[in-house]
A and B are shown apart, each in its own frame.
Chain A
Amino acid sequence: MKNTIKIERAIKYLTQEALANEIGVSRQTINSIETNRYVPSTLLALKLSKVFDKSVNDIFELEEND
């Protein structure tokens, strides 16, 4: 599953640390999600969509092998 968190973060001028603090996870977790090493739970995905003011489908996208 790919995502656009890095882009959304850049649009909002947010660092990984700032985003992590906002949704209550570690900076490493944000990094893992951005680099597609970890797929977040629905709860975390919804928190991210709230921060970026976009729907989950706009941030996360299924790939062919998913």
Chain B
Amino acid sequence: MNSSQNNLRLFPRYFNKIGLGIILGIIVFMLLSFFEIFFIDKEVAKTITKTLFLISLLIFSITRSKIEDELTVAIRLKAFAASFIFGVMIVIVDPFVNLVFEGVFLLEKGAVELLISMLLFYFFMVFLMKKNR
């Protein structure tokens, strides 16, 4: 029987440490640029920070949890579907929110912010579904 049928080919557990390392790197990078130990353009620093944060979230989302079985696979897939719908809802609703508060009908969220929101929503959904299983 195909034993990989229920497996999502996730990263091994040690990738969590890599993700944590990246987050620690972000904190160090932010502190260094805040205290002006080295000079870097603010916008460039923002882009680097956001991108690294996105990478770490992606690593966390596709790394195996302690116990991985067919129920956790189902939870992961449901959470990914929910976060995709959440992302679409943000794209639809965001211009209306901007219209109400700023008077402009524009989508102000960038791709990185949108993906970060979606991944954070994914973790929230996984947490909720694991709690209620």
Residues of chain A contacted by B70 (CB below 8 angstroms): 25, 29, 40-41, 43-44
Is there contact, CB below 8 Å, between A32 and B1? Answer: no
Query: In the bound complex, how far is the Cα of B73 from the Cα of A41, in angstroms?
Result: 12
Whole-angstrom distance from the CB of B13 to the nearest CB of chain A?
15
User: Does A26 reach chain B (CB closer than 8 Å)?
Assistant: yes
Is there contact, CB below 8 Å, between A24 and B69? Answer: yes
User: Does A37 reach chain B (CB closer than 8 Å)?
Assistant: yes
Is there contact, CB below 8 Å, between B71 and A26? Answer: yes
Is there contact, CB below 8 Å, between B72 and A26? Answer: yes
Count residues of B near A (Cβ-Cβ below 8 Å). 11
User: Does A28 reach chain B (CB closer than 8 Å)?
Assistant: yes
Say whether, besides A38-B74, A41-B6, A43-B1, A25 and B133 are in contact (CB < 8 Å): no
Residues of chain B contacted by A31 (CB below 8 angstroms): 133
Is there contact, CB below 8 Å, between B71 and A32? Answer: yes
Residues of chain B contacted by A43 (CB below 8 angstroms): 1, 5-6, 70
Is there contact, CB below 8 Å, between B1 and A26? Answer: no
Whole-angstrom distance from the CB of B97 to the nearest CB of chain A?
36
Known: A26-B71, A38-B133. 8 other contacts (CB 8 A): A26-B69, A28-B130, A28-B133, A29-B70, A29-B72, A32-B133, A37-B133, A41-B6
